[in-house]
Amino acid sequence: MENSKKLGEILSRIDGRGFKAYKDIKGRYGFKSFTLFIDHVQGDPYSNPSRIRVRVQRSRTGFGPELTSNPSRTIAFCDFLTRRFYRNCQRFAKQERGIGKSGLVTIDRPQQEILERSAMVVDQHHVEARFFMGLPAFGRKISGRNARVMFFDELPRIVDHSMFLSSLDLNEIRGHIEVAEDADLLRYKLDSLGLVGFVADGSLLPRASGIDSRPLGKGTVVPFSSPESFRVTVDLPNRGEVAGLGIPKGVTLILGGGYHGKSTLLSALELGVYNHVPGDGRELAVSTPGTFKIRAADGRSIEKTDISPFINNLPFGKDTKAFSTANASGSTSQAAAISEAMEAGATTLLLDEDTCATNFMVRDVLMQQLVAKENEPITPFVDRVKQLHRERGISTVLVMGGSGDYFAVADQVIQMTNYAPLDVSEKARTIVETHDTGRRNEAGGELGKIRLRIPVKKSFNPSGREGRQRIKNQGDRAIVFGNTLIDLWDLEQIVHTSQTRAMGRAIFHAMQYMDGKRTLKQVIARVDKDLDEQGLDILMPFVVGDHARFRPLELAAAINRMRTLRMIQQQD
């Protein structure tokens, strides 16, 4: 390992030369308080910035073992350090020093959710930050003088203020960790409490806007308050006793007038699979890990998925037990999404009527009278939702404002009025008992068993047109895999671009387990096990700092949306 003086000498020597001379600085250098790793040097000022790491001996940081005593604490602690590192990059780095990305110093930026990331790694020996630097240049000529400022002035200040306890508030660190630890334990308790979700009293659920996940200003938000009949009290290790709305297993209907908060509550449950930072307002709004949001997705591809519980007897005898299409309708896409989610292990389904196919959700009595069942291949969800829980143990939470037919199948009904939840379950049951609509249940027979599918490895080709591996993300809702674009626009529980980026690599990692015998669920389980045991670094042949952990359900959903996908359906 060279010392920092050597790096300074190289920067002086290459000052004013062509940009490619920056390649000479690649290597490892010892600084006073940290070790610097220059892992990859960008090809020109406009390329992706250079990949850099700094590593500090943990014994010198002042961070005690209690901060990483379990996985929940470790992830939250790394998240805290990542946020502080990002803030100090903005504080101490000038950011603009020439053309292109010259002067940029940044790390993978977290949002409101606390995710496991590759950006910061803490173990018993080291604390390591993985970040990016845009090496400075003017007119494609190296600015060695500015590079020296970045490496020898700005970077040490960023590290000293981000990776040592002496510059941080221990109580603030503990608060960040304890919020995540409480949420994880609460999420773990839900199943034994007979619940699929919990929202603590005092939670602030509305967001700043549809594109800003930060909380709406406190002065304009009604704090969440649970009705007595749904109130559950839990004891958490750090927060102590907490009361809130417990959503039982079964079929839960959320209704109310427009703009009264029903979709806001569903959204909190949708993202309750993740922990949130202190001050977010949703710190103790949690849902079970197997919670999955379902919506219609016109135009998506479907490969040998059994949608027969919902759609059958199609014209011309098209098979719906192994249904395939390159251009799904709203109803077939929604049926497939439910079947695929069940196959992947989902335990709770979330649906909002605003994003569902109307003809898939319900057929009212007037339509039943006009169009006979034998001429309608769709069995509406209203006639299957109860069976999902009774036969498969899968609960459903459904936002509905336009059809009272769901009253008859709901185990509990919550009405949102001015963002306050009210228990109207008994009232809904009374309405059903006193107003016989004459509607007939159109579900014939049981759901049957879940038909598992085996992915065909040959249908996965990560090579691009030039024969080179080509795997990358396009924002947070698309993956380029070889010459295939995997469109993830309907997967609303992806919250960060780094998750999508990691999923692209995980699909490639999954290919090693596709032996023609393992089902998709088994393949995904192997990938998840590898990530648990070895971390996100197994997804790449070199160290990167821009991957974040995703859920197995989203990885399965991404594979299901590959247009090249071929499956073999297991036989009965």
Closest CA to 293 of 327, 328, 246, 340: 340
Q: Identify the pLDDT of residue 220.
A: 75
3-class state of residue 255 by DSSP: strand
* Mean local confidence (pLDDT), 53-65: 98
The dihedral of CA 247, 253, 259, 260: what is its sign?
Answer: negative
Listing DSSP states for 367-398 in one string gives: HHHHS-GGG--B--GGGTHHHHHHHH--EEEE
3-class state of residue 74 by DSSP: helix
Instruction: Band the pLDDT of 41: cuts 50, 70, 90.
Output: very high
Lowest mean pLDDT among 360-369, 411-420, 545-554: 360-369
Q: The pTM is what?
A: 0.96
Domain ranges of the chain: 2-168, 293-434, 453-569
Phi, psi of 531 (to 5 degrees): -65, -40
Distance spanning both ends of the chain, measured CA to CA: 61
* Mean local confidence (pLDDT), 440-447: 87
pLDDT digits 0-9 by tens, 160-199: 999 999 999 999 999 999 999 999 999 999 999 999 999 9
3-class state of residue 341 by DSSP: helix
For residue 55, what are the CA distances in angstroms to 8, 128, 246, 330, 437?
Answer: 19, 4, 44, 50, 69
Torsion of CA 460, 462, 465, 466, to 10 degrees: -140
Instruction: Band the pLDDT of 411: cuts 50, 70, 90.
Output: very high
Residue 553 in contact with residue 503, Cβ under 8 Å?
Answer: no
pLDDT digits 0-9 by tens, 299-308: 999 999 999 9
pLDDT above 70 for 572: no
Q: What's the rounded Cα separation, in Å, for the pair 562 and 297?
A: 14
pLDDT above 70 for 218: no
Residue 481 in contact with residue 562, Cβ under 8 Å?
Answer: yes
pLDDT above 80 for 276: yes
* Mean local confidence (pLDDT), 10-18: 97
Q: What's the rounded Cα separation, in Å, for the pair 544 and 470?
A: 16
Q: What's the rounded Cα separation, in Å, for the pair 413 and 192?
A: 22
* Mean local confidence (pLDDT), 6-11: 97
pLDDT digits 0-9 by tens, 464-508: 888 899 999 999 999 999 999 999 999 999 999 999 999 999 999
State the amino acid at position 237 in one-letter form. P
pLDDT above 90 for 329: yes
Phi, psi of 421 (to 5 degrees): -85, 135
pLDDT digits 0-9 by tens, 69-84: 999 999 999 999 999 9
| DSSP, res 361 | H
| DSSP, res 366 | H
* Mean local confidence (pLDDT), 127-133: 98
